[in-house]
Amino acid sequence: MGALRPQTFDRAPVWLPPSASFPSLRFDNSFVRELPGEADTLRAVRGVRGACFSPILPIPVNGPRLLAHSSEVAGLLDLSEADCASDAFLQIFAGNALLRGMEPYAACYGGHQFGTWAGQLGDGRAIGLGEVLNAAGQRWELQLKGAGSTPYSRSADGRAVLRSSIREFLCSEAMAHLGVPTTRALSLVSSSDRVVRDMFYDGHPRSEPGAIVCRVAPSFLRFGNFEIFAARGEVEILTLLADYTLRHHFPQLGAPSPETYAAWLTEVCRRTAVLLAHWMRVGFVHGVMNTDNMSILGLTIDYGPFGFVDHFDPDFTPNTTDADQRRYRFSNQPRIAKWNLVKLAEALFPLVRSIPALEEALAVYTATYEAEESRHYAGKLGLATVDKALLDELFQVLALVETDLTLFFRCLSDVPVHLGDAASDEALLAPLADATYAPQGQGQGEGEDPSSNPSAGPARARTVAWLRRYGAFVRAEGRPPELRKARMDAVNPKYILRNCLAQLAIDAAEAGDPSGVVELLDVLRRPYDEQPGRERFAAKRPDWARRRAGCSMLSCSS
C-alpha cells in the first residue's frame, strides 16, 4: 500500500475537465436544489439551523488505490468496466476530483441514540456528491463515506478506516444479493493516509490505513432528518422536507395533505416491517438501530458494528457499546423498529395532526411484520404455511446446543423427513451434524466426554421429536422431496458475510493484498447457489474467531 502519511486538511478536490467526464453520469441534484441549505461553506463544527444541508467539499487523500468495485452497481449508473478502471474513476471516488454537475453536501439530521434524544447529528463522515439519473430514469444518490470532516463531525475527523470500509462495502452488496432491501456500494478505495481510532474506546488508539466507500441509494434520508426539525419547532422546514420526500420518493400517494402524510407514514411502517422480517430471516443484526440509522425508504443503512448470527442466540449483539443493555440484540430488533417508528410518528404529528391516524399507521407495522415473518419462516421450512407452535419449539431446540443458524436451515432441506417412521433417528440427525458447534444433541465443552453430559439425551430427544413433528407437516402438504429442497435452498442462503470471513479479507488487505475482498464479493453474489470449490466460505465459525476482535467484538468505530 505504499508509505503511510498523516491526512491533510488544506487541500481541495480538482474539477475535472469535460473531456474527463463520464457522459452516463447525468446529475439532477434535487435535494440541494429544492431544499434550504446553509450559505456557509466552512468546515467548522457548528449547530446548523434552518437548513437541510451544508455545502462541503471532500478532502483529498494521498495514494488512492481502487481495491474493489461492484459491477452491478456500476451498471445501475450506466458505468462500463472501462469507466471503473480509469484514473478519473479512482480520483472521483477517492474524493480527490469532482465532475461538473456534482454539488457536494452533508445533510443535517438528529436522532435518538440508544433510546435517548441526541440532538443534532448529521453527516459527520459522509459527503453526498449528487444525484444521478440513469438511462432507465432511476435516481441514484452518490455518497462518499470517509471523505473528510463536515460541520457535523463533532470532535471526529470525518475519515473511515480500511477495516470498517471493507465491511460496509461487502455487506452492502451481500445484503442486496440476499434479497434484503439495502443501500449499495459502488467502490472501495484505500489511501496511504493514516487514521487514528480507538476501536473499543478503552484508551488504546492506534493508527490504521484509511479508506473511502462510495455508497449508492435512491436517497439517504432517514428518520432523524425529520426528527431534528420537529424537535426544534421548525415546522416550515419539516413541511418542505416532507413534501420533497413525497414528490420524489412517494409520488403515488398524491399531493401533500394531512391524509397524505398519514398514508406516507403508513407506507414507511410497511416498508420497515418488510425490512425487519428480512433481517430476521437471514440472521442479520444491525448493531446500532438508532433513529438516525433508519432509512425513510425501508433500506438497510449505515453498516457499522453489524454481524450475522453464527450460533443461534436471541441475545446476540455484535456491538460492544451495547454489551450491557443489549438494546439492539437480535431478537429485539423488530420491537426497536416499532419504537423508532413511534418517534418518527411523533415528529410528523405537526403535519398529520391526528393521533388516531398515527396509531393506525403504526398498527400496519405490527400486522405487516407478523405476516412477513410467517411467510418467510414457512418458506425456510419448505411449507405453505407455518404453525406458530412448531416454530416456537424450533427456536427452543436451536438453543439446546450451539447451532449454526444459517447452516441449520440450509441443511434442513436434506433431512429425510418425508420418509416418516421409516427414517431412523440417526438418519434424521445426520444432515444436521455440520450445523452444530458440538456433536448433535450434546452440549459438552471441548474435550468433554459426551456420555458424561446429562443433557445429551434430552437435547437429542427433543431435536428428533421436533424433526418428526415437522416431518408430519411436510408430508401433510404432499410436496415432492426434490421440490421441497429446491424451494428451501432458494430462500436459505449457504453463504453469508460472516465476521470471520470479513476479518480474513481485512487482514490480507491491510497487508496489501485486496484479492480476498474481491473473491469474497464474488462468492456473496450467489448466496443461495452451490459453488463447488468454495465450500470453505460456507463453513461455520472457526474456534479462533469466537472471541477475536473484529469477529465477535465490534464497536461503532469498527
Which of these is catalytic: 78, 123, 157, 292? 292
Amino acid identity for residue 23 in this structure: P
Chain centre distance of CA 34 = 29
Backbone angles phi, psi at 336, to 5 degrees: -65, -35
d(C-alpha 365, C-alpha 48), whole Å:
33
Cell of 170: 461487502
Assess whether 123 carries a catalytic annotation.
no
Strand 160-161 versus strand 139-145 pairing type:
unpaired
CA distances from 286 to 62, 230, 316, 325, 424 (A): 32, 26, 11, 15, 40
d(C-alpha 342, C-alpha 339), whole Å:
5
d(C-alpha 10, C-alpha 7), whole Å:
10
Query: What Rg do the C-alpha atoms of the chain give, in angstroms?
Result: 24
Question: Which residue's entry shows cell 435518538?
Answer: 112
Cell of 470: 415437522
Three-state SS string over 277-337 comes to HHHHHHCEECCCCCHHHCECCCCECCCCCCEECCECCCCCCCEHHHCCCCCCCHHHHHHHH
CB 333 within 8 A of CB 293: no
d(C-alpha 22, C-alpha 78), whole Å:
9
d(C-alpha 267, C-alpha 261), whole Å:
10
Residues carrying an active site annotation? 292
